[in-house]
Structures are given as structure tokens and as C-alpha cells.
Amino acid sequence: MNDDQLLRYSRHILLDDIGVEGQQRLLQSHALVIGAGGLGSPVALYLGTAGVGRLTLVDHDRVDLTNLQRQIAHNLSRVGQPKAESARESIAAINPDVQVRAITQRADAGWLDQAVVSADVVIDCSDNFATRHAVNAACVTHRRPLVAGAAIGFDGQISVYDPRDAGSPCYACVFPPDTTFEEVQCATMGVFAPLVGIIGTVQAAEALKLLAGVGTSLAGRLQMLDARSMEWTEIRLARLPQCPVCGTGTSEPRSAS
């Protein structure tokens, strides 16, 4: 690190759990962020300010006026601009040293199979089950830790799925791909503005811990937040032997392609 970096990241370096070595690991890391909306905004901003060396942001959508109630990486002047590009500009305004690649397309299975392999951590900030399952499958295939969050209304949830740990479940162990879940969108259900900030910030914290090698991750635990009462509930998660994605009942993890 040069003198400017030592000064910029001094508050991290002062932490015994991070120090110079942990900050150096962040600077050498690559994080893949799926979605640059409500959850992706705080994730991208905190990873950028914390000094994660390379960020790949993927989002096919464009900034809309209704996004500005909660998607803090964007502003009024960028309405109509691709969200990934807008988030890249916001990061550059705070920390221009971070290499940010903005991808303005859907994160489908084929693209994910190529992109996940080069990432050190994947943060899923998407808003639909199809994308979440595609991201999970690619992370299992390439053994990359996945930090997954969701938020709608006043309810949020967050967990880490780490295929490097033989005892850690994957996303499909908890939300089986053959189970029908009702898709709910904030466009019809609404979302409490700070909720996505709370969940997204926890996602950023979990990703930074994984990259810096600090503490214990949420792998094997699903935390749920009811923002009406600001009450957290935690559920312990187990890996399913017959999971169609990561289970031992299959000869190998299912490919994302």
C-alpha cells in the first residue's frame, strides 16, 4: 500500500482483526455484485469505500424516479441511466482507485458460469428466485462463497452459503428450486426504504469478513428481520443430502450453464 492508501484505510488498519494484512487482502480481492438496486447500492458503496480492489456490478435495469426512495447509489440526474453505470460513478466519486466493471445485462446462467469463477465472493442483491437459483448453482459449481439477501415490505433476510465448507447448505437447500414461491415485487408490495439499507449493509459486512478472513460468517444461519418491531430472528440451517444442487445424492454439483 502507498501512503495515500495507508491514510484512507487507516481506520480498518487500526482494527487488530484486519490490520495491514487484512486490508491488503481486500485490495487484492474481486467481488461480484448481482443487482445494483436497493440492496446492491449499499453493498457496492461499502465494498468500494472499504477498498475491495475489483468490483463487477451487473444489472440490466435503468434508474427510475421510483428507485430514488431507497436506492442510494443513484440520484435524480441519472434517471434513465443504467443502474450498473450509475453505481460505478458513485463509487468512483468516493474511491477512484477501485476498478469497477459495470455490466448492463441480465445475470443469466450462461453469463454467471463465466463470471463467478473469477470472483472471490458473490453478493446476490437480485429480486427474483430464478436469478437467485442461477447464482447459487454457479457458486456451488465453482465453490465460491455466496452472500444472499432479500427485502420486501418490512421484512428482510440474510445468510451466507459457502460451498467450500462441506457442512454449509446452499441456497437450494433452504429454498428448493422445485418449490413454488409467490414472487413479490416492491413495485406492487412496496418496501420500507431503510430496510434495504440494513440488509444490504449486513451483506457488505459479511462479504468483507469473508474477503479479509475476519470473524465467523453467517454460513448455516438465516437471519430474518421484522423492521416493524426491529426484531431479528435466527434459524439454523442444515445441508440437505439430497439437494439437487449441492447434495451427495447427485454425482456432482449441477452446472449453471
Quick one: cell of 141?
A: 459449481
How far, in Å, CA of 218 to CA of 75, rounded? 32
For residues 40 and 58, what is the distance between their CA atoms, to the nearest angstrom? 10
DSSP secondary structure letters along 224-250? EEETTTTEEEEEE----TT-TTT-TTS
Q: Residue 186 catalytic?
A: yes
Taking each helix axis from N to C end, the angle separating 83-94 and 40-50, rounded to the nearest 10 degrees, works out to 30
Other CB atoms within 10 A of residue 123 CB = 31
Q: What is the dihedral of CA 24, 162, 61, 76, to 10 degrees?
A: -50
Neighbours of 247 (CB within 10 A): 17
Of 125, 139, 173, 186, catalytic: 186
Of 53, 9, 49, 46, the C-alpha closest to 31 is 53
Supply the residues annotated as catalytic: 186
